[in-house]
């Protein structure tokens, strides 16, 4: 027994989620238009009560949910995760009016949320945000002017958690988080054609008016809103990666056990067996680190930023390795459009970049260690 063995209820729940994803969610995902929000899929996540779990589950339960969904339907996992990322700042930092207006719609899958942090010139260096929130007269309002880029669910979301600079030349201390409905005058968006099939776009703010009632948290304290959200979700990004790695590993186990090669089965070749062993060992190590980071978050332990960064780093890099190795062991069939591994090969690349690239995670870890 390891320190992070799942109890019978957790194991049963994971199996239930895999079945739901395969039988109820994957058919909806297959009907979706790649690169666009799949609203029937999001609505189904709400009907099944999974979106409610974004706000009622601890970090470990969130990881188990994302890992299980990712194993059977990456589109469902991503749709769920993006709802959580975009709406968590409202749940954790929003006013009563903001929560009452938007969270029931998010939980039901009838409103699509988005987290708008990255910009053309401020991706990994989030403190370098340039989207300007300029005071608008004596009313206490601001006008947002600038761009956001690489925003998941843009430009089709119903509202955005937007991070803008309210204090020039103040670095991380001069950023404020705003809740911006998509229908605000001056807000426009453009979809981006990306390798990964989920919706991503750019946003343009042309004097978009926001007021005190749109602030999430405190003025000039928005960077804290962003970082607390990312610290909660980073371990579960690792869980998404582990789910993909496990799917690739299981597909490879089945393929190598059945495939005839050199007078026997592919699995009987020592080189193949050793490769499978390496894939399985790395996947389990990543899983345990994700569970450890999530459990530490739930327990309110110290070093959350370091643990979350380690979990995301190891899991996403591991998933890239495992999926790549799985493609190699499957051969050319894995490169055919529509094959599970072709799909995973496209999906697995982005998590090493979003919510903090692997290099950023290493910087966080080093800073925490020296600090």
Instruction: Express each pLDDT in 62-95 by its tens digit.
Output: 999 999 999 999 999 999 999 999 999 999 999 9
Q: Nearest Cα to 33, choosing from 41, 25, 22? A: 41
Mean pLDDT of the chain: 94
Domains 113-220 and 224-370 share a fold: no
Instruction: Express each pLDDT in 218-245 by its tens digit.
Output: 999 999 999 999 888 989 999 999 999 9
CB 247 within 8 A of CB 344: yes
What confidence score (pLDDT) does residue 132 get?
A: 96
Q: Among the options 258, 355, 359, 368, which is catalytic? A: 355
Q: Distance between CA atoms of 213 and 7, rounded to whole angstroms?
A: 44
Structure tokens at 264: 């026997």
pTM of the model: 0.94
Q: Distance between CA atoms of 288 and 294, rounded to whole angstroms?
A: 10
What confidence score (pLDDT) does residue 231 get?
A: 86
Q: Distance between CA atoms of 14 and 9, rounded to whole angstroms?
A: 9
CA distances 269 to 20, 136, 221, 264, 331, Å, are 36, 70, 58, 8, 15
CB 81 within 8 A of CB 51: no
The reply to whether 355 belongs to the active site is yes
Task: With a cut of 70, list the residues of the chain below it in pLDDT.
Answer: 1-4, 138
Question: Would you kindly state where each structural domain of the chain is located, as residue ranges?
Answer: 8-108, 113-220, 224-370
Fold (topology level) of 8-108: Butyryl-Coa Dehydrogenase, subunit A; domain 1 (1.10.540)
Fold (topology level) of 224-370: Butyryl-CoA Dehydrogenase, subunit A; domain 3 (1.20.140)
What confidence score (pLDDT) does residue 122 get?
A: 83
What confidence score (pLDDT) does residue 3 get?
A: 55
CB 120 within 8 A of CB 148: no
- CB-neighbour burial class of residue 69 (10 A; exposed 0-12, middle 13-18, buried 19+): buried
CB 290 within 8 A of CB 315: yes
The secondary structure of 140-197 as a DSSP string is TEEEEEEEEEEEETTTT-SEEEEEEESSTT-GGGGEEEEEEETTSTTEEEEE---SSS
What confidence score (pLDDT) does residue 1 get?
A: 33
| Cα first-last separation, the chain | 34
Fold (topology level) of 113-220: Butyryl-CoA Dehydrogenase, subunit A; domain 2 (2.40.110)
Q: Distance between CA atoms of 17 and 34, rounded to whole angstroms?
A: 23
């Amino acid at each position: 027994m390891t320190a992070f063995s799942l109890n019978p209820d957790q194991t049963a729940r994971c199996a239930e989620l895999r079945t739901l994803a395969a039988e109820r969610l994957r058919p909806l995902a297959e009907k979706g238009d790649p690169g666009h929000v799949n609203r029937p899929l999001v609505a189904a996540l709400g009907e099944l009560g999974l979106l409610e779990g974004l706000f009622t589950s601890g970090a470990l339960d969130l990881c188990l949910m994302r890992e299980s969904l990712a194993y059977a339907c990456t589109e469902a996992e991503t749709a769920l995760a993006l709802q959580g990322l975009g709406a968590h700042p409202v749940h954790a930092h929003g006013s009563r009016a903001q929560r009452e207006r938007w969270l029931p719609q998010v939980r039901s899958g009838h409103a699509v949320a988005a987290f708008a942090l990255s910009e053309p010139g401020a991706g990994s260096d989030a403190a370098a945000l340039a989207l300007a929130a300029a005071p608008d007269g004596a009313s206490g309002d601001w006008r947002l002017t600038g761009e956001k880029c690489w925003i998941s669910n843009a430009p089709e979301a119903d509202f955005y958690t937007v991070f803008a600079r309210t204090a020039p030349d103040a670095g991380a201390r001069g950023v404020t988080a705003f809740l911006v409905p998509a229908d605000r005058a001056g807000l426009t968006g453009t979809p981006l054609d990306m390798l990964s099939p989920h919706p991503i776009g750019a946003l343009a703010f042309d004097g978009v008016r926001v007021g005190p009632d749109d602030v999430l948290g405190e003025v000039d304290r928005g960077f804290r809103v962003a970082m607390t959200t990312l610290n909660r979700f980073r371990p579960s990004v690792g869980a998404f990666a582990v789910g993909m790695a496990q799917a690739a590993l299981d597909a490879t186990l089945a393929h190598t056990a059945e495939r005839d090669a050199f007078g026997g089965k592919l699995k009987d070749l020592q080189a193949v067996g050793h490769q499978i062993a390496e894939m399985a060992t790395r996947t389990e190590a990543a899983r345990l680190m994700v569970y450890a980071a999530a459990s530490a978050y739930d327990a309110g332990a110290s070093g959350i930023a370091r643990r979350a960064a380690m979990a995301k780093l190891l899991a996403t890099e591991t998933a890239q390795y495992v999926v790549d190795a799985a493609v190699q062991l499957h051969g050319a069939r894995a490169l055919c459009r529509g094959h599970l591994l072709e799909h995973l090969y496209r999906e697995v690349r982005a998590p090493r970049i979003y919510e903090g690239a692997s290099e950023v995670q290493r910087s966080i870890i080093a800073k925490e260690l020296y600090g």
